[in-house]
Amino acid sequence: MKLKIKNFTEHLIDYSSISFLESLKGKNVILDIGCGEGEFITELASRYPKKKFIGLEIKYGRIMKCLKRAKLWNLYNLGFSICDATIFMNKIIPNESLNKVFVNNPDPWPKEKHHKNRLVNSNFLNIIYKKLKRRGNLYIKTDDKEYYRYIKSNVKNTSLIEDESLGFIDNLVPLTKFQELYIRNEKKIYSMKLLKK
């Protein structure tokens, strides 16, 4: 099964190579953390062909769907990486190299005993802060109100600034398949935009 991924190497990021780091320099770089099957980041990459897009996902089956989608759409400004988000952000992405970061519907781990497993916490937000360029943006969306409040409280322990005046975030970017489902079921999506000054 793992051999199938070799058929899509033109869209699979080899983050151990120097060429990957070189490819970030001087580019407008957008990262989608936990990109799922890639529908969101693929749509963005098709809209903005001069920007560089990276989709990050830890599950092999999802990455395969992402790679197939990128190949089908013939998008060479889009690459995908299969890696743990904390490792990727801590060890691979250089500081001040990202213009925008999207985190769509991270797992809320609703039980209190599982809160330690949540990706978006003050430690992770501080890592993202370091990786953003000056005036870079972090966009977070969740359907879980309690997790939204948890994230907002964690933002206070960072240097990120919340922009509460921007209610148009949902109109600027495509929806994930989960967000489309939430809208059909009249379920609220909570959005925030965080800035690095």
Distance of CA 68 to the CA centre of its chain: 19
Percent of the chain clearing pLDDT 90 (strictly above): 72
The predicted-structure confidence for 175-191, as pLDDT tens digits, reads as follows 787 787 777 878 888 98
**Does the active-site annotation cover 107?**
yes
Query: 84, 107, 143, 163: which one is catalytic?
Result: 107
SS3 for 159-184, per residue?
CCEECCCCCCHHHHCCCCHHHHHHHH
Q: What domains can you pick out in the chain, each with its CATH number?
A: 2-195 (3.40.50.150)
pLDDT of residue 1: 43
What pLDDT, in 10s, does the model give residues 28-65? 999 999 999 999 999 999 999 999 999 999 999 999 99
15-19, 77-81, 103-107: least confident range: 15-19
Contact 65, 38 (CB under 8 A): yes
Q: Contact, 197 vs 137, CB < 8 A?
A: no
Residue 126's pLDDT is what? Answer: 98
pLDDT at 160: 97
Give me the pLDDT at residue 169, please. Answer: 57
